[in-house]
Amino acid sequence: MSKRDEKIALYQEESKKLGLGLSDALIEKVTIGLGPSIYKRDSETVSCSQESELATVKKNFAQKKLGVTDEAAIDAAIKKVCEKMGSSNRNKYRALFYALLAKELGKESVYA
Any residues with CB less than 8 A from the CB of 34 and at least 6 apart, and which?
Answer: 94, 95, 98
Q: Is the pLDDT of residue 18 over 90?
A: yes
The phi-psi region of residue 40 (left if phi > 0; otherwise alpha if psi is between -120 and 50; otherwise beta) is beta
105 touches 73 (CB < 8 A): yes
pLDDT of res. 100? 97
Section 25-49 average pLDDT? 95
- What total number of domains does the chain contain? 1
- Amino acid of residue 38: I
**CATH code, domain carrying 9:** 1.10.238.120
**Would you say the C-alpha torsion 81, 87, 88, 94 has a positive or negative sign?**
positive
Section 59-87 average pLDDT? 96
pLDDT of res. 1? 87
What is the residue range of 12's domain?
Answer: 3-111
pTM of the model: 0.96
From the CA atom positions of the chain, what is the Rg in Å?
13
